[in-house]
Amino acid sequence: MELKIDTDVLLKAISRVQAILEKRSHMPILSTVLLTTKGDELEISATDLEIGFQNSYPAEILTPGSMTISGKRLLDITRETSSKKIYISEKENNWVYISDDNAHYNLSCLPADEFPALTEPEDTVMIEIDGKILTEMINKTIYSITMEEAGFKLSGVFMERINKGGEDFLRMVATDGHRLSLIDKKVPDVQKIEMEHGVMIPRKGLLELSKLSQENGAILLGLKQNNLVAKQEKVLIIIRLLDTKFPDYKNVIAIGEEDTQNTITVSRRGLLEAMRRMMIIRGDQYQGVRMNIGRDYLEVVSVNPDLGNAEEKIEIKYEGEPMEMGFNPKYFIDALQPMDSEILQLTIKDQTSPCLITGERDGGFLGLIMPMRV
């Protein structure tokens, strides 16, 4: 195998797969990228056995073939060169020669036939989803995924098809037990996807989907053999779904929706900035803020005996009885940042019930935050 490729093209390609490559795996092959010639293009593949990525790039193919190269080493070489082109050539006994006309590298590699096969499942039924919609759905749910190792059941976003008012919607929902984020979007032909009981998409896979959805245009999505398949032009991503059952979350939502007389109307920016300021004196043992809700104001108070305290009043519209509640300010920040609405509605039943967050410009979305003792 022998080829020349533009440095900028190779740098973009190798940078794209760095998050997938396994850095500390007991399988060294997973830290490599597979380079395969396809006509006048170079196909680059990477996998960690949970996520597989494949894309083709223009190149000057001098001799066809395939080889593996350390993904990190190739990135470092490409990043440090000032030349416009990179020359790559396969040598005997699993060695590869790389040159930019100034620097010359001889690297050991692994046999290409050891690289895990990355093939698209046959007869996968695919639907088309707008990249902007997919980006929005991921951004408005991914923050609620648990980061705790013991929370395997909650370590992804649950995706299912639901029916509302006789119409089918695609739903994504995530929770870590303390908060929940949910979004429903109308997606053409969503009924064609087979997911009777829903599927769990791992966080790492969602991050790769998000990168793909931000590259403009529509994305094809399909489910097959416990895999989520995503395609866009020459890009192929295969994500192994989590083998776990998502908890029944609908009762929690029902609690938040059953009584709406205590509705607070507030500026998203005002609430977001106030919560950020409360975080300044937050500590490991003092993570909550107290929210005092009055007729025309919302007072947030943060107390840390080791540092001091902070308080701020925000103008609101509220016609219910005064209340005092405690919340984690970070949960509000995470929920409010991806929202588009300028004005929010916070629905609270009582001091022990969750706070439901919605906004007119965030159709189909709701955030839910459980109260805490302060």
pLDDT of the residue at 258: 57
pLDDT of the residue at 232: 95
Cα(215)–Cα(187) distance, rounded to whole angstroms?
19
Cα(249)–Cα(255) distance, rounded to whole angstroms?
10
Q: Residue 181: pLDDT band by 50, 70, 90 thresholds?
A: very high
pLDDT of the residue at 89: 97
Give the residue-averaged pLDDT of 301-318.
92
Structure tokens that stand for 230 in this block: 């995503």
Q: Residue 269: pLDDT band by 50, 70, 90 thresholds?
A: very high
The amino acid sitting at 220 is: L
Q: List, in sequence order, every residue forming a beta bridge with 304; answer none if it has no partner.
A: 308
Is 272's pLDDT higher than 90? yes
pLDDT of the residue at 216: 74
Fold for the domain defined by 2-114: DNA Polymerase III; Chain A, domain 2 (3.10.150)
pLDDT of the residue at 62: 97
Pick the CATH number of 250-369 from 3.40.50.300, 3.90.226.10, 2.60.40.1240, 3.10.150.10: 3.10.150.10
Is 201's pLDDT higher than 60? yes
| Percent of the chain's residues with pLDDT above 90 | 80
Fold for the domain defined by 126-240: DNA Polymerase III; Chain A, domain 2 (3.10.150)
Return the HEC string of the chain. Answer: CEEEEEHHHHHHHHHHCCCCCCCCCCCHHHHEEEEEEECCEEEEEEECCCEEEEEEEECEEEECCEEEEEHHHHHHHHHHCCCCEEEEEEECCCEEEEECCCCEEEEECCCHHHCCCCCCCCCCCEEEEEHHHHHHHHHCCHHHCCCCCCCHHHCEEEEEEEEECCEEEEEEEEECCCEEEEEEECCCCHHHCCCCCCEEEEHHHHHHHHHHHCCCCEEEEEEECCEEEEEECCEEEEEECECCCCCCCHHHHHHHHCCCCCEEEEEHHHHHHHHHHHHHHCCCCCCCEEEEECCCEEEEEEEECCCEEEEEEEEEECCCCCEEEEECHHHHHHHHCCCCCCEEEEEECCCCCCEEEEECCCCCEEEEECCCCC
Cα(275)–Cα(259) distance, rounded to whole angstroms?
25
Is 312's pLDDT higher than 80? yes
Task: List the chain domain ranges.
Answer: 2-114, 126-240, 250-369
User: Distance from CA of residue 89 to its chain's centroid?
Assistant: 36
pLDDT digit string, tens, across residues 108-148: 999 999 999 888 888 899 999 999 999 999 999 999 998 87
Give the residue-averaged pLDDT of 50-71.
97
Is 104's pLDDT higher than 70? yes
Q: Residue 255: pLDDT band by 50, 70, 90 thresholds?
A: low
Contact between 98 and 37 (Cβ < 8 Å): no
Q: List, in sequence order, every residue forming a beta bridge with 148; answer none if it has no partner.
A: none
Structure tokens that stand for 268 in this block: 């998203």
Is 260's pLDDT higher than 60? no
In 3D, which of 34, 69, 80, 40 has the Cα closest to residue 53? 34
Q: What is the pLDDT of the chain when averaged over all its residues? A: 93
Cα(154)–Cα(148) distance, rounded to whole angstroms?
9
Q: List, in sequence order, every residue forming a beta bridge with 158; answer none if it has no partner.
A: 173, 200
Is 191's pLDDT higher than 70? yes
Provide the edge-to-edge strand list for the sheet that holds 2-6. Answer: 60-63, 2-6, 85-91, 95-99, 104-108
**pTM summary value:** 0.93
User: What is the residue whose two structure tokens read 């016609």?
Assistant: 319
